[in-house]
Amino acid sequence: MSAHRTPGSSPLALAAGSSASTASISSSHPSPAPTARRLGVPSGAFWKSLVAHLAIPLFLATGMALAYLGAFHEPVPHDLNVAVVGDSAESMVFAQTLDDQADGRLHVETTPTHASAEKLVRSGEVVAAYEATPTEATLVVASAASETTASAAQKIFLPIAYSQHLPFSIDDVAPVGEHDTTGQGLFFLMVALSVGAYASAIAVAAVTARLGVAWRMGVGALVAAVVSAIGVVVAGPIYQMIPNGVWGIWLVSWLYVFGIIMIGVGLHPILGKWTTPALTMLFVMLNFTSSGGIFAAPFEPAFFAGLNIFWNGAAFIDAVQALAYFPGRQFGFDGLRLALWATAGLLLIVVVHGWSVRRTRIADDALAVTREEEEQVIAA
């Protein structure tokens, strides 16, 4: 567009006007953006934000895959304790031959009578006992202890009975309950309690952030009583999966849930939004896989079998199985393990509170629970 010349206008003025018009047109039509912006590629800040938001979901996805597939992908027995019934030289040779041929999968001992075999199986010292007479073969198992282990024992000894041309029968000294045909009802009770416990831990941490240590412990104990009562009522009176020892199982459940809540409340001032992933790792990834509720420890890799010795889920399963199916079986060590986990949670709260009072950078008792953390609890 050219500038219109009016009478009396100087060439300098016309040039200035033309420049102004050109500048105005240029400002209304800015120069093209860089190629990345024209293509809609997000800035570096976007990618940093994406990585930060995906860190926890990717941690959970990786951890779940490694834990569940690592523990359950190949359930092969190792050092599975079984017995052969009989005190004759022939029985002892048979037991030794079976042990040698098993190549570490079995640990075979002998027991003199059928009654002693039943006693060993009920106590959990062996998972199965095989008795062969001139007329029949009998396998003594306790499916309530582990339905998968009882099935595995049948697969081991059934071919042996056939090779001996003997009819094969099962003597189940502790069968599963009428309303728990898979024998895994107590494991799923533990799953429900675990989720309720670590979700409650975040809620208790939020509500008691500005209260004293004693109040945090007291509120945690009360919430644990409610969560455990809900689980036991659903498993017991509603679905009838608990044949015996309901009150004892409730007390064990309370101790189990209380320990998880205390550990969660203790960790929150340190970990903040990473508390839920940490609890998921401790009480889902490592806990469910090592508890023995799906496959017993002799069927798991060494890492998870090792956790079974001291982890709280394994202690819970052993204790409630004793109460529900094996009256008279001692479970003091299991109770001790649960008590030690709860004690660790209590000590953690006290120590973290001390750090917070000293205003160290490690912990902050008054750290608020964010909406993001609440969403993580729902997702986990």
The pair of structure tokens assigned to 268 is 């929150």
What SS3 state is found at 124? coil
Cα–Cα dist 142/126, whole Å = 10
Evaluate whether residue 16 is within a structural domain: no
The pair of structure tokens assigned to 112 is 């003199």
From the CB of residue 296, how many other CB atoms can be counted at a distance below 10 Å? 23
Using the predicted structure, report yes or no on whether residue 154 has a pLDDT greater than 50.
Answer: yes
> Do 355 and 273 sit in the same domain of this protein?
yes
From the CB of residue 93, how many other CB atoms can be counted at a distance below 10 Å? 11
**Ramachandran bin of 245, using left for φ above 0, alpha for ψ from -120 to 50, beta for the remaining angles:** left
Cα–Cα dist 251/240, whole Å = 18
Rg from Cα positions in the chain: 33
How does residue 27 score in pLDDT terms, banded at 50, 70 and 90? very low
> Do 351 and 216 sit in the same domain of this protein?
yes
Using the predicted structure, report yes or no on whether residue 326 has a pLDDT greater than 50.
Answer: yes
> Do 226 and 369 sit in the same domain of this protein?
yes
> Do 132 and 270 sit in the same domain of this protein?
no
If one counts the domains in the chain, the total is 2
Indicate the residue among 117, 149, 172 that finishes a domain: 172
Q: Which segment of 24-28, 31-35, 60-64 scores lowest on mean pLDDT?
A: 24-28
Cα–Cα dist 25/182, whole Å = 80
Task: List pLDDT tens digits, range 277-296.
Answer: 999 999 999 999 999 999 99
> Do 99 and 230 sit in the same domain of this protein?
no
Q: Where are the alpha helices (DSSP H) in 164-271?
A: 185-207, 213-233, 246-271
Task: List pLDDT tens digits, range 228-266.
Answer: 999 999 999 999 999 999 999 999 999 999 999 999 999
CATH of the domain at 106: 3.40.50
> Do 95 and 222 sit in the same domain of this protein?
no
Higher pLDDT among residues 274 and 8, named by residue: 274
The pair of structure tokens assigned to 136 is 């029949």
Evaluate whether residue 190 is within a structural domain: yes
- Find the domain containing 219 and state its range: 185-379
pTM of the model as a whole = 0.83
- pLDDT, position 10: 46
How does residue 137 score in pLDDT terms, banded at 50, 70 and 90? very high
Evaluate whether residue 333 is within a structural domain: yes
Evaluate whether residue 62 is within a structural domain: no
Evaluate whether residue 17 is within a structural domain: no
